[in-house]
Structure 1
Amino acid sequence: MKDKAGKIIYIGKAKALRNRVSSYFRSVEKHTEKVYRMVESVYDFEYIVTASEFEALVLECSLIKEYTPKYNILLKDDKGYSYVKISPGPWSRITAEKQRTDDGATYLGPYTSSFVVSQTVDEANKIFSLPTCTRRFPQEFGKGRPCLNFHIKQCMGVCRGRISEEDYAQTLAAAVDFVKSGSTQALDQLRAEMNTAAGNLEFEKAARLRDRIRAIERITERQKVFNTRADNQDIVGFAQVDRLTCAAVLKFRNARLVDKDDYIFTDAGTLQQFRAEFLASYYSTRTDLPKVVSVDGEFDDMEMTERYLTSRAGHKVSLHIPKRSEGYQLVEMARNNAAQRLSHETGRTGREVAALDELARLLGLSAPPTYIEAYDISNIGSDTMVAGMVVFEDARPKKDAYKKFSIKTQFTPDDYACMREVLSRRFQRYFEEQETGRGFGRKPDLILLDGGKGHVGVIRPLLREMGLGDIPVFGMVKDDKHKTRAIAEDGGEIAIHSHRTAFTLVSKIQEEVHRFSIAYSRSKHKATAFELALTQVPGIGEKRARELFRHFKTVKAMKAASMEELAQAPAMTEKTAAALYRHLHEDEAPEGNLQLTPDKI
């Protein structure tokens, strides 16, 4: 596709060219912002016919690489080189840096992987208990208490001023050797030093060296155990939030995690389509293709993509979707890395991003649900049947969007009928206010009902009747202890205990909607009881009692009103207001000493 100037702005492949091209100009309102802008810019087309789908894929990748069209996936690798910096002495620090400057420091590198550099520097500082704070030495010796790192044994506490410059220099030199030579040579050297110190009866020094050896062994062992089967493999995971998609690639070579790449895309569409596009684009520029590429889900043209990767690598490349055990854990690790990167872009926590992403996959949603509404029915007898609606936006409670419903058409306790009434009223308001895009005028990405498949079976047909069948509806099922047990579908249940982040989010939503509806039910029951008590006041019947509550809203406001303010309420007289005032304050005990005035004698 070309713009008016003849510049190529998009390259794609299609089995049926007519269907693919015309799809861009139908249902334009359903396009993402990216596709909409592309369609606006298209002025001309050019096409090449190939002998097979596989040839089309190869040609597509090579043309994208050559022309880098604006609306195709462009993997901008802006990592550059990284360095390990040893700042000038005497109290040097080890840090990871993006650039090398003329500041008198010693630099190791350059290295192509910033991930490996930062990981190595972090390990060296932890193993050798080097300070990573911003304090300046020796200027700040003894000024203030040591930070948390000292108390959790991740820093030797240089700030206390009790470590000699010579001892610190020796420790730093050992840490630099560890960075340069790796764990194996560092262990051999430290063991020799420990044995020498023990032979010289320098037991404190030997103990410090022993602790460093154990720290290196723990880190090395943790890496080896976790990645034993990922010998020569890439793990690819994706996460989505709003219009952003992140792809994270973890690279394992010789059973060790050696590098990580991540990329952010806007308006990438569904992951079902995006995975194939990303893999083809990512590996079209790589020369070190692994034997196995594990992906976090299925996608279109998986077999053809595998053929393409094999042709690029010169050896067999297998695409794999792990379902259990260690492989699944590694895929989750990649997803979490993608979620963490998105959290930096969106201002949310990595856990929140991961929870929404996992919930979408669990429920089969096309995208993570940004705006979730949850409903619960609560009643204390037929007089106080109510419902509560809570809203979670970006996995966080949005309390200004919470709504309370009093049941109006149902006079006997029936959760299904009450839920139908509430949802019907809610979406009638949606049609009235949808132009505002706020409050009831906003359509949720997901509806959760406090109940089982029966509730879902009632509400899904209702939404279809109202033309809103595209809104996903699920139930939140409780166990005997009123804790979240599963998510209900129309025809069964989905177990969620093994999906930790999604389970935590759903449990939080269920507890919040239950709390909110119960609180409203109790307050309404209390108000109803007080309303009945008001009918005992001379001149106030049921109708006038209801009018008083509509006017003052709360019991507290009614009690705080003066006699004149009570008299000004609808349908009130001065005589009735005086009687009501005495009734509201008759239980108040007099304070202080009783002062007798002449008119009371």
Structure 2
Amino acid sequence: MTKAELYQKACMLPLLPGVYIIRDKSDTIIYIGKAKRLRIRVSQYFREGVPHDNKVSQMIAHAYAFDVIVCQSEFEALVLEASQIKAHTPKYNILLKDDKGYSYIKVTREAWPRLSFVLQKEEDDAEYIGPYTSSFAARQMAETALDAFLLPRCSKRFPQDIGKGRPCLNAHIGKCMAVCSGKISCENYNQAVKNAVHLIRYGKKDILKILNERMLEASDRLEFETAALLRDQINAITKVTAGQKVVVDPEVEMDVVALAGTPSSVCAAVLRFREGRLTDKREFLFHDTADIAAVREEFLPRYYLDDEQIPKIIAVDELPPDSEALQQALNEKRGSEVQLYVPQRGDKAHLVEMAHTNAVERLARESGRYAREEKLLDEMAQVLGLSKPPRTIESYDISNWGDGTSVCGMVTFRDGKPYKAGYRKFRMKTVLGTDDYASLAETVSRRAAEYEKYAALAAQGQGSDNYFGQKPDLLLMDGGRGQVSAAKAALAGTSLADVPLYGMVKDDHHRTRAIVDSEGREIAINMNRGTFTFITAIQDETHRFANAYRKQQMRKKSYSSTLTEVPGVGPKTAKALMTQFKSVGAVREATPDQLENTPGVGPQLAQTIYDYFHA
């Protein structure tokens, strides 16, 4: 339908509450909203002359049809909207995802384990507690556990460094048990680490009770050193947790929410107070909009009616228009009354100001970061001789292993930072053996073919959301003249032939040294620190991504090899089993009936597989 036709249809809607569902040409849901009066709200989108911000304008440009669900009340519409958004995750609804990513607390598996805060999992044997959506909370918990149980933060290795040198400053000021002194047994140290993990997982009250019981038991056994160590840990926990500032009544659990905006973005800041202390801070950025009221109206129900724990009190900077319906929904989900209000004076009003300050500061940092990235891309364009700053950069690296199999990792940087939606993995289809040049040529040829395919679909109004339908501003190959020449020849005659192409050259120590252009000339970049650091980061990320994919394929191949040892199971069936069950362990635990559901596995083979693992 045209915009005029959609407007005419909207004018025929009732003046009743309900939910509206907007779809594009491919019948994909792109936006879901609620309205107190459907006719007024929906018609505003399609009426000529009504101003909209960037995000809403894009949504309207893609709108082709809409449906409505009439409800009995605003409350019913609000709950229905939340459930529909969760089920369909439309493109133009706000995404409740802060930009910090997930965080973990890492506990190494060794004789003398170490505990630390990390931003991502690694492929090692360590235990990872999490993931936490807030790095603030994860870091605070790790620091509290380290302080409470006097665990070491230094880089010393145990037991190798025990007895070598004097204990550090942390030991002298009472923040470390001084394992390096040799006075702490491995058993007591491991128990302290277990207690720290228990504190992180279950909180202060439970661990204090356990430690008090152990201290009394040790004292009864006349193990006074152990009892003293436990006493010190109890005192440390009490001291550390008491040192955290109490800002509200200890019995109160409360969230404080405030929003701030710029002409192009809105930030929502949420401060969580539990047991009287600030335990978490989360910030959500919404780009391409300046409508704070609209974001607030959608943010609060999305945040609390999804999977978030609802506290007794939610203090906000301003109530949304549907506050009564939201209040009712919060009460029903929590199972008791929730106080949703705007504090006018006192400590809680100051906390709302604090949340607003955090939102303003986050927007200021974001603006500063964009300015730095803008400057960096300008410098890069000058160094490489590009006609404009490269907004979208794609980088490729080939990774091989012993049997001659190769894979390629493609990473994308957009506006100076990693863009995970543009990451892709390639397995070689035509190259036999280890041949980096041929593998790179095959990869970029396939990339060009995918671009042409999705660009054609986009011209017909289809497939516009697929990343492959977008043209990069710069292509980088991990390697020198050979890799660049192979990629250039493969792209000749394609739609990507005019994209600037360079190679990233490494020195003998596997560190970025220079850039090679498509004519084979080297460009020194070490004199331009910003460009040098940025290209090094791109090269390192590409290498990491390609290697991770290679290791993943090696593990799958190893697992498949295990399955091919079963009589009657060949490579094709093993692959089907791995696709169905994801792991050999899951295949081992499956029943014959479950195994039989795998393509290519009949009743007899299913029984054979089951008998093989259960003989």
> Normalising by structure 1, what TM-score?
0.46
Larger radius of gyration: 1
> Normalising by structure 2, what TM-score?
0.45
